[in-house]
Amino acid sequence: MSLADKVLAVNDDLPIRTDVPVHSGKVRSVYWLTEEDSRRLIQEKGYDVAADAPLAIMVISDRISAFECIWHGEGGIQGIPGKGAALNAISNHWFKLFREQGLADSHILDIPHPFVWIVQKAKPVMIEAICRQYITGSMWRAYDKGEREFCGIQLPDNLQKDQKLPELLITPSTKGIISGVPGIPEVDDVNITRDDIANNFEAFQFKSADDIAQYEKLLKEGFNVISEELAKLDQVFVDTKFEFGYVTDAAGNEKLIYMDEVGTPDSSRIWDGPNYREGKVIENSKEGFRQMLLNHFPDPDILLNKNRMEERYALARDNALPEAVMMKVSETYVGIAEKIIGGKLVLSDNPKAEIIDILRDQYGLIDG
């Protein structure tokens, strides 16, 4: 079996029973179950959700996106071997710790296969919540140019690149387009302040002003849980993105939960501790892949300049990356996942066939 065959690149063509088109994102595809199947599974499996809650099957892929493009490798490799299994295993590990430590639940109800989550529909909070413990990346670039205010937070002078910040910062941005709020442009992913959120909490789909404090508490506690666990592995948790939403449990209680993925190399920066102490940054996250792309192409401005998107899409479409590059990224993802879960990552030679068998035989979601 070739390397390309072991990569799950296309994940929106599974024969799962659904009444609506499959929603395919950059990495995951979502299959909304029929109302009948949702009700049946809730009853059969005893999920702690309302009896009529819509459920979905979320299938991860091995695709890799960076700079808003999907990248591929030589030899027909359409993703990173092991990446999907690594991301899910890491998220599952942190979500479980959050639950055990009494933080909050996640949208995941069941994990039938390493590539698959059964999730409940949540009403998302329209904020991408970024937590930063170190000054690096876009924040450092802006700081280096003289900016001192970020999302309403004032930073001191004389900070050095990649140094630890005086305190954990929350630098939120909009998730999707927020309409009709003074001072917030109607475009996706704009930085906002805590005051913006507090003064317009309903526009961000918070149920009450009190929930802003709850969201900040879950952000900080979630960050600290992951940071402390990574420190035991001599890894530095640099920054990360959290997303939140509301769900209703079987008893009818509405609650704020963690959504999407948490603490993964896709949503976070993770640095190797021993190297960081020696003044070197070794990325155990997708940031390493981004840096490689910037060094790989003669004109990195194409990847950084949003006015050159057509050129950027063409760059990703027309350039197969060397197999060695894809495998190095694979080692990063699989390596950090195995550190975090404390064991070997189970990789499949044919994940699609396994998923179909499990969802047919154990969940009754595939005809035939």
pLDDT in tens, 107-151: 999 999 999 999 999 999 999 999 999 999 889 999 999 999 999
How far from 202 is each of 58, 191, 211, 212, CA to CA, in Å? 28, 18, 11, 11
List the beta bridge partners of residue 209: none
Average pLDDT (5-15) is 92
Distance between CA 345 and CA 134 in Å, rounded? 29
pLDDT of 53 over the 90 cut: yes
Per the domain annotation, does 16 fall within a domain?
A: yes
Q: State residue 120's pLDDT score.
A: 97
3-state percent helix, strand, coil for the chain, nearest multiple of 5: 35, 25, 40
CA 298, 302, 304, 307: dihedral to nearest 10 degrees? Answer: 160
Residue 1: which pLDDT band, with cuts at 50, 70 and 90?
low
Report which residue type is found at 178.
I
Which CATH number fits the domain that encloses residue 101? 3.30.200.20
Give residue-wise pLDDT tens across range 290-322.
Answer: 999 999 999 999 999 989 999 999 999 999 999
H or E segment and range at residue 329: helix 323-341
Average pLDDT (314-336) is 96
Per the domain annotation, does 34 fall within a domain?
A: yes
Percent of the chain with pLDDT over 90: 91
| Angle formed by the axes of helices 323-341 and 287-296, nearest 10° | 170
Of 82 and 350, the one with more pLDDT: 82
Distance between CA 303 and CA 288 in Å, rounded? 15
Per the domain annotation, does 131 fall within a domain?
A: no
Residue 2: which pLDDT band, with cuts at 50, 70 and 90?
confident
Place of tokens 């849980």: 225
| 330-344 burial code (b ≥16 CB/10 A, e <16) | bebbbebbbbbeeee
Average pLDDT (15-44) is 96
Per the domain annotation, does 46 fall within a domain?
A: yes
Under DSSP, is residue 123 helix (H, G, I), strand (E, B) or coil? Answer: strand
- 16 and 31 in contact (C-beta within 8 Å)? yes
Average per-residue pLDDT for the chain: 95
Two structure tokens written together for 228: 């402390």
Residue 214: which pLDDT band, with cuts at 50, 70 and 90?
very high
Distance between CA 349 and CA 327 in Å, rounded? 16
Of 294 and 188, the one with more pLDDT: 294
Per the domain annotation, does 99 fall within a domain?
A: yes
How far from 133 is each of 57, 108, 270, 286, CA to CA, in Å? 34, 27, 11, 18
Average pLDDT (53-67) is 97
pLDDT of 183 over the 90 cut: no
Distance between CA 231 and CA 318 in Å, rounded? 40
Query: Which residue range(s) make up the domain with 356?
Result: 3-122+347-361
pTM: 0.95
Two structure tokens written together for 332: 């990063």
- Contacts by 359-364 with C-beta closer than 8 Å and gap 24+? 359/14, 359/16, 359/57, 359/112, 359/116, 362/112, 363/41, 363/112, 363/118, 364/37, 364/40
- 38 and 55 in contact (C-beta within 8 Å)? yes
Per the domain annotation, does 268 fall within a domain?
A: no
Residue 326: which pLDDT band, with cuts at 50, 70 and 90?
very high
Percent of the chain with pLDDT over 70: 99
- 126 and 203 in contact (C-beta within 8 Å)? yes
- List the one residue out of 116, 103, 113, 107 whose CA is nearest residue 53: 107
Per the domain annotation, does 98 fall within a domain?
A: yes
pLDDT of 10 over the 70 cut: yes
Please tell me the total count of domains within the chain: 1
Average pLDDT (178-201) is 90
Average pLDDT (85-91) is 97
Per the domain annotation, does 221 fall within a domain?
A: no
Residue 188: which pLDDT band, with cuts at 50, 70 and 90?
confident
Q: State residue 367's pLDDT score.
A: 87
